[in-house]
Structures are given as structure tokens and as C-alpha cells.
Amino acid sequence: MKTEKKILKLLSEVWGEFLKLEKQHPNEEIDFADGIHKCQYLMGMRVARKYEPKIFPIKKIKIL
């Protein structure tokens, strides 16, 4: 979970850096936030699967 925490921290830093940019479109902040939230959700699910694999099973995939 160390790497997941690192990635979550980096996502927070990316958001902060994005907010420093000059706005070019009225919806870009909302769109960027949606992308960050999707990434945070994915990382949160990785933590949940490690913490409670009976509730959130880890599904192995086969690469052809």
C-alpha cells in the first residue's frame, strides 16, 4: 500500500499544480477534477482489495 499512498499524494500535488494554470475554458477545472477523482477511486479500490479481499476480491487476469 506504500505505492498507492504515494500515487494518491502525487494526484493531490498534480491538482494543486493544475490550479495554478491560467484558465482557458470554463469547464476545464471540473473536467480535470473528474479525472483526478477517477484516479483516486481506482487507487482507493486497490487499497480496499488489499484490506478486505473477501469483500473486494482481487481478480487475476491472463495476458495472452
Q: What is the number of alpha carbons within 13 Å of residue 24 lying toward its C-beta?
A: 4
Q: What average pLDDT does this structure show over 25-49?
A: 97
* pLDDT at position 6 over 90: yes
Query: Is residue 56 situated within a structural domain?
Result: no
Q: Please report whether residue 35 resides in a domain.
A: yes
Asked if residue 62 belongs to a domain, the reply is no
Let me know: does 15 contact 7? Beta carbons within 8 Å.
no
Percentage of the chain modeled with pLDDT above 70: 100
Q: Structural domain of residue 27, as residue ranges?
A: 2-51
Specify if 57 maps to a domain.
no
61 occurs within a structural domain: no
Residue 9 included in any domain:
yes
Q: Is residue 37 part of a domain?
A: yes
Q: Domain count for the chain, please give it.
A: 1
